[in-house]
Structure 1
Amino acid sequence: MIREAVRGTKAARAKPRTWRGAELAERLPVARVLVDKGLVHLDRYFDYAVPAAMDAEAQPGVRVRVRFGAGEKGGRREGGKLVSGFVVERVAESEFRGVLAPIAQVLSSEPVLSPELLGLCRAVADRYAGTLADVVQLAVPPRRAKAEGKGSGAPLPPNVMPEAGSWERYPAGPGFLAALGRGDAPRAVWTALPGPHWPQELARAMAATLASGRGALAVLPDGRAAARVDAALGELIGEGRHVVLSADAGPEERYRRWLAVSRGAVRAVIGTRAAMFAPVRDVGLVAIWDDGDGSHSDPHAPQPHAREVLLQRSVTERAGFLLGGLSCTVEAAQLVETGWARPLTAEREQVRAAAPLVRTVGDADEARDAAARAARLPTLAWQVVRDGLQRGPVLVQVPRRGYVPRLACERCREPARCRACAGPLEARDAGELRCGWCGREEGDWRCGECGGVRLRAQIVGARRTAEELGRAFPAVPVRTSGRDHVLDTVPGVPSLVVSTPGAEPVAEGGYAAALLLDGWALLSRPDLRAGEEALRRWLQAAALVRGHAEGGTVAVIAEATLRPVQALVRWDPAGHAVRELAERAELGFPPVSRMASVTGRPEDVAEMLAAAALPEGAEVLGPVPVPAPDAGRPRRPGDPPPGEEWERALVRVRPGQGAALAAALKTAQAARLVKREGEAVRVRVDPPDLG
Structure 2
Amino acid sequence: MLPLLPVAHLDREFDYLVPSELDEQARPGVRVRVRFSGRLVDGYLLERIDASEHGGKLAWLDRVVSAEQVLTAEVRRLVDAVAQRYAGTRADVLRLAVPPRHAKVESEKSEPAPSPGSPEVDQGAWSAYLHGVNFLEALKGGRGPRAVWQALPGEDWCARLAELAGVVAASGRGVVLVVPDQRDLDRLVRSCESLVGAEHVVGLAAGLGPSARYRRWLASLRGTARVVVGTRASVFAPTPDLGLVVVWDDGDSSLSDPRAPYPHAREVALLRAHATGCAVVLAGHARTAEAQALVDSGWAHDLVAARDVVRARAPMITALADSDQALARDPGARAARLPAIAFGAARQALAAGAGVLVQVPRRGYIPSLACAKCRAPARCRRCNGPLSLPAAAESDGAGSPTCKWCGVADTSHRCHACGARALRAVVVGAGRTAEELGRAFAGFEVHTSGGSDVKGEIAPGPKLVVSTVGAEPVMPGGYGAALLLDGWALLGRADLRAAEETLRRWMTASALVRSHADGGQVVVVAESGLPTVQALVRWDPVWHSRAQLAERAEVGFPPAVHMAAIDGAGTAIAELLELAEVPDSAEILGPVPLPPGERLPFSDDEPEPEDVERMLIRVPRTAGLTLAKGLAEAQAIRSARRSTGPVRVQVDPLRIG
2:57 counterpart letter in structure 1: V
Deviation at 1:214, TM superposition (A): 1.6
1:378-399: CA deviations, max 9, x gaps? 1111111111211211100000
Correspondence list, 1:365-404, <5 A? 366-367=325-326, 369-371=328-330, 374=334, 376-391=337-352, 392-400=354-362
What secondary structure sits across from 2:233 in the alignment? helix
Residues in 2 aligned to 1:545 and 1:366: alpha-carbon distance in whole angstroms: 29
Which residue identity does 1:529 align to in structure 2?
R
- Aligned-partner Cα distance in 1 for 2:46–2:616: 36
Stretch of structure 1 that moved more, 116-125 or 145-154: 145-154
Aligned residues: 595
Q: Which residue of 2 aligns with 1:310?
A: 269
Counterpart of 2:173 in structure 1 is 214
Residue 564 (structure 2) aligns with: 596
The answer on whether the counterparts of 1:404 and 1:524 sit within 8 Å (CA) in structure 2 is: no
Aligned match of 1:460? 427
Tell me, what secondary structure is at the counterpart of 1:85? strand
After superposition, the C-alpha distances for 1:218-248 in whole angstroms (9 at most, x for unaligned) are 1111121122221212222222112111234
- Residue 567 in 1 paired to residue 528 in 2? no
Query: Does the Cα contact within 8 Å between 2:119 and 2:195 map onto a contact in 1?
Result: no
Q: Deviations over 1:249-287 (max 9, x none)?
A: 422122111112111222221111111000111111111
Q: Is the 8 A contact 1:36 1:85 kept in 2?
A: yes
Q: Tell me, yes or no, if the aligned pair for 1:220 and 1:271 is still in contact at 8 Å.
A: yes
Other-structure match for 2:396: none
The alpha-carbon distance between structure 1 residues 681 and 368, as it changes in their structure 2 partners (threshold 3 A), is closer
Q: How does 1:93-132 map to 2 (within 5 A)?
A: 93-132=51-90
List alignment gaps of at least 5 residues for structure 2. Answer: 369-383, 385-424
Corresponding residue for residue 518 of structure 1:
486
Is 1:609 paired with 2:577?
A: yes
Q: Provide the rounded CA distance (Å) in 2 between the counterparts of 1:103 and 1:297.
A: 36
Return the offset for 1:67.
1.4
1:238-277 equivalences in 2 (<5 Å): 238-277=197-236
The whole-number CA distance in structure 2 between the counterparts of 1:297 and 1:480 is 27
Tell me whether 1:484 sits opposite 2:452 in the alignment: yes
In structure 1, C-alpha distance between the alignment counterparts of 2:600 and 2:180, rounded to whole Å: 20
Instruction: Tell me, in whole angstroms, the C-alpha distance in 1 between the residues paired with 2:443 and 2:182.
Output: 33
Displacement of 1:471: 3.2
The answer to which of 179-188 and 639-648 deviates more is 639-648
Q: CA deviation at 1:167?
A: 1.1
5 Å-filtered alignment, 1:605-644, equals: 605-626=573-594, 637=601, 642=608, 644=610
SS of match in other structure, 1:91:
coil
The match for 2:644 is 678
Q: Which amino acid aligns with 1:333?
A: Q
- State the secondary structure of the residue aligned to 1:190: strand
Q: Alignment partner of 1:590: what SS?
A: coil
1:91 shift after superposition: 1.4
The residue matched to 1:574 in structure 2 has which SS?
helix
Q: Distance in 2 between matches of 1:228 and 1:627?
A: 34
CA deviation profile, 1:569-617 (whole Å, cap 9, x unmatched): 0001111101111111122111001100000111111221122121112
Shift of 1:467: 3.3
Compared with structure 1, are the counterparts of its residues 660 and 334 closer, same or farther at alpha carbon in structure 2 (3 Å cutoff)?
same
- Bigger Cα displacement from structure 2, 277-286 vs 259-268: 259-268
1:476 partner letter: F
The one-letter amino acid of 2:633's match is: T
Is contact 2:433–2:466 with CA below 8 Å preserved after alignment? no
Q: CA deviation at 1:178?
A: 0.8
Distance 1:681 1:615, change over 3 A: same
One-letter code of the match for 1:244?
G
Moved more, 187-196 or 243-252: 243-252
* Aligned residue type for 2:357: L
Give the superposition deviation at 1:465. 3.5
- TM superposition shift of 1:509: 1.4
1:637/1:202 CA distance change after superposition, 3 Å: farther
Q: CA deviation at 1:171?
A: 2.6
Deviation at 1:165, TM superposition (A): 4.5
**Aligned-pair distance for 1:306?**
0.5
Give the corresponding residue for 2:245.
286
- Equivalent residues of 1:625, 1:645 under 8 A apart: no
Q: What is the CA RMSD across the aligned residues, in angstroms?
A: 2.3
Q: Which residue of 2 aligns with 1:16?
A: none
Alpha-carbon separation, structure 1, partners of 2:362 and 2:278: 38
**Cα distance, 1:526–1:641 mapped onto 2, change above 3 Å:** farther
Unmatched 5+ residue regions in structure 1? Answer: 1-32, 70-79, 406-428, 430-457
Contact 2:367/2:427, CA 8 A, preserved across alignment:
no
Q: 1:625 to 1:238 in 2, by over 3 A?
A: closer
Report the Cα distance in structure 1 between the residues aligned to 2:263 and 2:114, rounded to whole angstroms.
32
Q: Tell me how far 1:514 sits from its aligned partner.
A: 0.7
Counterpart amino acid of 2:476?
E
**Using the alignment, how far apart are the partners of 2:225 and 2:124 within structure 1?**
25
* Letter in structure 2 aligned against 1:589: F
Distance 1:609 1:680 in 2: 14
Shift, 1:624, TM fit: 2.1
Q: Deviation per CA, 1:102-144, whole angstroms, max 9, x where unpaired? A: 1222111101011111110000000000001111111111100
Amino acid at match of 2:487: G
- Residue 394 of structure 1 aligns with an amino acid whose one-letter code is V
Q: CA deviation at 1:158?
A: 4.7
> Identity percentage over the alignment?
51
Distance 2:291 2:285 in 1: 12
Per-residue CA distance 1:408-456 (angstroms, 9 max, x = gap): xxxxxxxxxxxxxxxxxxxxx9xxxxxxxxxxxxxxxxxxxxxxxxxxx
Aligned twin of 1:646: 612
Cα pair distance change 1:636/1:515, threshold 3 Å: farther
Query: Matches of 1:348 and 1:629 in 2, distance apart?
Result: 41
For the residue of structure 2 that corresponds to 1:46, the secondary structure is coil
State the partner residue of 1:154. 112
Q: Which amino acid aligns with 1:107?
A: V
Structure 1 residues 450-501: Cα deviation after superposition (integer angstroms, max 9, x where no partner)? xxxxxxxx94142433433333333321111002101111111111111011
Residue equivalent to 2:146: 187
Look up the match of 2:278. Answer: 319
- Residue 589 of structure 2 aligns to a residue whose secondary structure is strand
Partner SS, residue 490 of structure 1: coil
1:236 corresponds in structure 2 to: 195
Residue 344 (structure 1) shift: 0.4
> 3-state DSSP class of the match of 1:88?
coil
Q: Which amino acid in the other structure matches residue 74 of structure 2?
A: E
Q: Which residue is equivalent to 2:45?
A: 87
Give the equivalent residue in structure 1 for 2:505: 537
Deviation, structure 1 residue 159: 2.1
- Alignment TM-score, normalising by the size of structure 2: 0.87
Q: From the superposition, tell whether residues 225 and 332 of structure 1 become closer, same or farther in structure 2 (CA, over 3 Å).
A: same
1:11-38 C-alpha deviation (Å, 9 max, x unpaired): xxxxxxxxxxxxxxxxxxxxxx111113
User: Match for residue 297 of structure 2?
Assistant: 338
CA distance, structure 1, for counterparts of residue 456 and residue 85 of structure 2: 37
Per-residue CA distance 1:598-640 (angstroms, 9 max, x = gap): 001111112211221211121111112337859xxxx775999
Contact kept? 2:503, 2:532, Cα under 8 Å: yes
Distance change (3 Å), C-alpha of 1:226 and 1:674 = same
SS at match of 1:622: strand
Give the 3 Å change call, closer, same or farther, for CA 627–487 of structure 1 in structure 2: closer
2:135 to 148, 153, 176: 176
Partner of 1:667, secondary structure, is helix
CA distance in 2, matches of 1:565, 1:636: 36
Question: Cα–Cα, structure 1 residues 588 and 540, in superposed 2: closer, same or farther, change >3 Å?
Answer: same
> Which one-letter code corresponds to 2:343 in the other structure?
W
Q: Which residue of 1 aligns with 2:553?
A: 585
Distance 1:395 1:629 in 2: 29
Q: Give matches, 1:407-556, under 5 Å.
A: 459-462=426-429, 463-556=431-524
Determine the C-alpha separation between the residues in 1 that align with 2:299 and 2:510.
Answer: 30
